[in-house]
Amino acid sequence: MSTVGKFKRTLLDFGLTRIIIIFTLLILLSLASFYDMNIPRFLSDILTRWGTFGILILAMVPGIQSGIGPNFGITVGITSGLLGAVLSLELRFRGFFDAFIVEPYHYFVTVTEPLGAIMEARVYTEAGRWITPVVTFVEGHWMRRVVGRAVQEGYDFIVPEGYRYILQEGYRFLIPDGYEHIMHEGYNFILQPFEVQFPSAPMFNLVGLATIFMALIMGILFSTVAGILYGMLLNRVKGSEMAISAYVGFSVVALFNIVWFTLPVSSGILILPARGSGMRQMINLQDDFGDVFNRIFQFDIPLAGSNLTIPTGLLLVLFLLCWVVWLFTRSRLGMMMSAAGSNPEYAKASGINVNKMRIIGTMLSTVLGAVGIIVYASSFGFIQLYNAPLMMGFATVAAVLIGGATVRRARVSDALIGALLFHSMLAIALPLANRMLPGVAALPEIFRVIITNGIILFALSRAKGA
Amino acid sequence: MADKIMQYKISILLVVVSLIFFALGFATASTMSRLLWHMILLAGLVAGLAAALTGPESTKDFVRRNKVVILFAAITVFAFLNANTSPELFFSELFTRFGRNTFIVLSLLIPVVAGLGLNFGIVIGAMSAQVAIFLAIVFGGVGFWGLMLAVIIATPLAMLLGYSVGRLFNGMKGSEMIGGMIAGIFYDGFYQFLFLWVFGGLIPLAMLFPNTAPRMMVGDGGVGVVSTIDLGQTPNYFRQAFDNVPMLSILQVMFFAMLAFVVIGIIINLAKKQDFKQGLLKPMVVLAVLAVGFGLSFIPDINTFLNQPRLAGIYALRLVFIVTVLMVVYRYVMARREGKPFNIPKHVFYLVLATAVLAFTLPADYSLVLRRVQIAVLPYMMVGGLCFGITWFLKTKLGQNMRTVGHNRAVATAAGINVNRTRIIAMMMSTVLASWGQIIFMQNIGLMTTYGGHQQVGFYAIAALLVGGATVSKASVKHAILGVFLFHAMFILAPPASIQLTGSAGIGEYSRVIAGNAVIALALIMHVWTRVKKTKKDKAKPPEAPPAAASEPAAEPAS
């Protein structure tokens, strides 16, 4: 074979999509440095995104290996994970973890005013954990500037100048002199224009970790059941899994819209404040398991006048899961599964139960989807409910295809490389697009849509051509 | 004999149950609930008649084949019972929705016939329609002719895009549906880019067209198009420009077009020295009918009546009755003349149905409601024309080729049909029809949501078609019409029913989206399921059925 031919072969072995994306990345990076943008910031972003999306993309691998193709219905797993996360938050609110973890009793109260007429009061622990349900107030003129403070009885507290405290329901409330009547009008909280300083978040947020582990346990439980059922369904529709999984995913998301809307939760961070029941679109995890993994052994490297942040814990979680999946693919069961996926007829002839293998692959994919979304929510800082997961399957499929997978073959490394390449591209391209064409805020999103779906289309057309 | 008794038992049971419901209907006061009981009576009678005519086996088969329709009819009836809306509002809304949505749903039929499955790519047709509407406004189009300009711009654009999607689909045979879904989103990216940045950014539209463009750009002439464009706003008057065309104008145009057709035909025949009458008998008859109508339109009362753009529901139903009777008579006469067999039960069934529809116009409160329901004539005629057009097209050589390709690509290739070309033509036709449908939709709504107006088009159209009983490999005009009625009835009724049942509209709104998604997922699953079963059966007894001819082309070669 000639040198040119060899070179060509090496290139093709490396994967055409990968090459294209790497070139795009290089161009983007040079453009970014040309525009004098903050490169360390990009790198931190890339690392965080890698950990945030990595597991969701890894979830594609067992699916493709077992022969169901790119799992557009990863939303089944995602929904299970979200359900687990939400229930875990609710359990925590009901005091489930209080039996295991003792927190310092030091409560701060803030009364915020999100939309004018409706106000909410929150009680925080010292660690910054929010524990009260939403309390709504009727608007009053004096409630406009609102930050208050309450301390549980029995703890030392120094009363500042110009304030007195009143005992009510076990809390001592600080009241400015001359505002005592407020307590008798039925309001629990007092205005006081000072900032509440929360202590900085600890490296090991125990409550957060307990909550996320509970979420993971429940998410895995739900997704195992859902994954088995989903796998049984996919066994009956061999040959058209992609379109069906996409629409099963859509249906599940639509169905769970009602679940989110009606689930009788009572935790303040979950409920829609305006309606008093039903869940929010975005659940802020800042005071819960937001960032729990990122914070573990997180450190900054000063670089080029800025900081490169390494989210060690998050990346460790990703690598750990990749290792586990890799071990599984190396196990007897994993080998059988990929045999069933790559050549079902042959596998059947050698005594492998192809349908069972496909169910195992689907289930694993679904479970990884559930784990992935919980880790994603934690790192992103928000749980997004309702229609947010609708198109997540498409981006995940695109990422794994970039990594060098095809609709018939995928390795763990494809998922890792794909996650890194895809999200590097987004992390650089999105701010860059904003910089180059200012004033078009939606441009990065458009860019993402075109790339994601273009890659899937490319892979689909190649799959048939090959 | 036992079969015969069984057969009549079913019929009698259905009729008795319907009569009980009918009696119950008199006990209730409101028009809405009485209407429901009457509809159940009608459905029972029709079902009883059908069962009596066809026998128990086919009744069971009918239920099995139409389970989706029956399920949705049941859901709609349930919502109907619980929604506290006025019948006028409901029917006005339903007929308006039918007028504006059916065209797009019909655009799905040709790809199904050609074996491309449900064309999720019609979103692309809708996009070209919206680009065309925007450009038509920029070019200063006004009213009906402005909208026609949009049609003229949309057509080549949709053809081009349809061609590209067709090429794409030829590269991924068997995965067209997921491919169409993704292609829709992919093209949407470019569409968004076009409207957000190219218009106003790359092409300084506000400078090139200072009279028309600036009001549609962000910040009066900036970069990018505003998110909603009011089509009713001066000076465009696109809103309901098709809906508001008077019947008289339609009649006149049809009359003169037919006249021109006949005259040109006569001239050609004379020039070729052929028989004067050859091939012109049918057009002459149509011309004569139109001429009578045209002549009658000069009578003042009829003239005022025809000058309206909309037809009250009551007249429309009477028209349906008359047309059905005429059609049955025509078919009978033609069958007798040509000596072909005439399917009596089927046509009796049609007549009974038409009579029952006419009976609905009789009670005073119903006729009051029906008078208030206004039907936009031109869109309905377009829908009707398309129904006949598709039926006609599928009988032509190209249409037959499409059927063959849809049934089995290998056989089609063996028969010398260019499979890829046929598939591309099917995609182009579907995309063009979808773009026209979107223009009809937009002019009725009167408000163009620039960035989101097209995204859900595929979902709603496909859900409606499937609710009507279509499958991935089989869809007809009947499915489309029934589906649009059922799906949109549910769409209108779900939120008010939800308010009555749960106190908030949320669950109803979510549940109709679930219903749409679930019906698509189910249809896809059922389709593959039956195909897999069939393939297994074929494999089990290969000598009797050669697998290539009996099963549809397998989607994935490996499985």
Express each pLDDT in B265-318 by its tens digit. Answer: 778 777 776 666 666 677 777 788 888 878 887 888 888 888 888 888 888 888
Residue B187 lies in a domain: yes
d(CA B433, CA B428): 9
ipTM (interface pTM): 0.75
Is the domain of B296 the same as that of B401?
no
Q: Is B328 exposed, middle or buried (0-12, 13-18, 19+ CB in 10 A)?
A: middle
Residues pairing with B217 in the sheet:
B225
Cβ-defined contact of A255 to B514 (cutoff 8 Å): yes
- Together in a domain, B265 and B188: no
Judge if B109 and B147 occupy the same domain: yes
Closest residue of chain B to A246, computed from CA coordinates: B178
Tell whether B347 is covered by a domain. Answer: no
Range of lowest pLDDT (A26-30, A227-231, A325-329): A26-30
B556: chain A residues, CB-CB within 8 Å: 238-240
- Give the burial string for A293-316 (b: 16+ CB within 10 Å, else e): bbbbebeeeeeeebebbbbbbbbe
Domain for residue B197, yes or no? yes
Cβ of A246 and B178 within 8 Å?
A: yes
Is the pLDDT at A144 greater than 50? The verdict is no
Domain with CATH 1.10.3470 in chain A: 16-93+204-300+307-465
* Nearest by CB: B193 against A240, A248, A446: A446
Residue whose pair of structure tokens reads 């595929």 in the numeric block: B458
Domain boundary among B34, B65, B96: B65
Nearest residue to A376 via CA among A250, A224, A219, A239: A219
Return the CATH architecture of domain A16-93+204-300+307-465: Orthogonal Bundle (1.10)
Task: Please indicate, yes or no, whether residues B238 and B250 belong to a single structural domain of this protein.
Answer: no
Q: Which of B9, B34, B10 is nearest to B22 (CA)?
A: B34
DSSP state of A130: B
Nearest to B532 among A238, A253, A258 (CB): A238
pLDDT of residue A149: 40
Q: What is the pLDDT of residues A294-337, one digit of tens each?
A: 878 877 777 777 778 888 889 999 999 999 999 998 999 988 88
User: Bigger pLDDT: A167 or A211?
Assistant: A211
* DSSP codes of every residue in B380-417: HHHHHHHHHHHHHHTTSHHHHHHHHHHH-HHHHHHTT-
Inspect the interface and report whether the beta carbons of B524 and A240 lie closer than 8 Å.
yes
A 379-438 residues inside an 8 A Cβ radius of B: 391, 394, 408, 437
Q: Provide the residue range defining the domain that includes B54.
A: 1-65
- Other C-beta atoms closer than 10 Å to the C-beta of B489 total 24
Q: Is the pLDDT of residue A200 over 80?
A: no
Q: Residue B326: inside a domain, yes or no? A: no
Q: How does residue A450 score in pLDDT terms, banded at 50, 70 and 90? A: confident
Predicted pLDDT of residue B301: 82
pLDDT score for A12 = 61
C-alpha count within 13 angstroms, C-beta hemisphere, residue B360: 28
Residue B37 token pair = 């009981």
Say how many domains are in chain B: 3
B171 and B261 part of one domain: no
- The shortest CB-CB distance from A457 to any of B186, B201, B554 is to B186
Burial B364-381 (b: 16+ CB within 10 A, else e): eebbebbebbbbbbbbbe
Amino acid, single-letter form, for residue A155: Y
Domain final position from B262, B281, B308: B308
pLDDT tens digits for A42-63? 888 888 999 999 999 999 999 9
For the stretch A409-428, pLDDT in tens is 888 888 998 898 888 888 88
User: For residue B352, is it within any domain?
Assistant: no
Three-state SS for B313-354 is HHHHHHHHHHHHHHHHHHHHHHHHHHCCCCCHHHHHHHHHHH
**In-domain check, residue B204:** yes
Is the Cβ pair A254, B517 closer than 8 Å?
yes
In-domain check, residue B344: no
Strand partners, A150: A173
Distance CA B26, CA B14 (A): 19
Contact A405, A319 (CB under 8 A): no
Sign of the four-CA dihedral B243, B247, B250, B254: positive
Question: Tokens in use for B423?
Answer: 């598939």
* Preferred mutation among B178, B196, B473, B525 to probe A, highest tally of A CBs within 10 A: B178
Distance from CA of B178 to the nearest CA of A (A): 5
Same structural domain, B425 and B460: yes
Within this chain, do residues B88 and B36 fall inside the same structural domain, yes or no? no
The answer to the question of residue B119 being in a domain is yes
pLDDT tens per residue across all 559 residues of chain B? 455 555 566 666 666 666 666 565 555 556 666 677 767 777 777 777 666 666 656 666 777 777 778 888 877 877 777 777 777 888 888 989 999 999 999 999 999 999 888 888 899 999 999 999 999 988 888 888 888 999 999 999 999 999 999 999 988 887 888 889 899 999 999 998 888 888 887 888 878 888 787 888 877 767 788 888 888 766 667 888 888 888 888 888 888 888 888 788 778 777 776 666 666 677 777 788 888 878 887 888 888 888 888 888 888 888 888 888 888 888 888 888 887 777 777 777 788 778 877 777 777 777 888 888 888 888 998 999 999 999 999 999 999 999 999 888 888 888 888 999 999 999 999 999 999 999 999 998 888 888 888 888 988 899 899 888 888 888 889 889 989 998 898 888 888 887 777 777 677 778 778 878 887 887 778 777 777 777 776 666 544 433 343 333 433 333 3
Q: Looking at the structure, do residues B502 and B513 belong to the same domain, yes or no?
A: yes
The helix (H) or strand (E) run that includes residue B110 is: helix B109-113
Best residue in A247, A260, A406 to probe B by mutation, most B CBs within 10 Å? Answer: A247
Please tell me the predicted confidence (pLDDT) of residue A267: 72
Selection from B464, B469, B491, B489 nearest residue B479 by Cα: B469
The pTM of this model reads 0.79
Q: What are phi and psi of A265, to 5 degrees?
A: -95, 160
Instruction: Tell me which of B45, B65, B85 is where a domain ends.
Output: B65
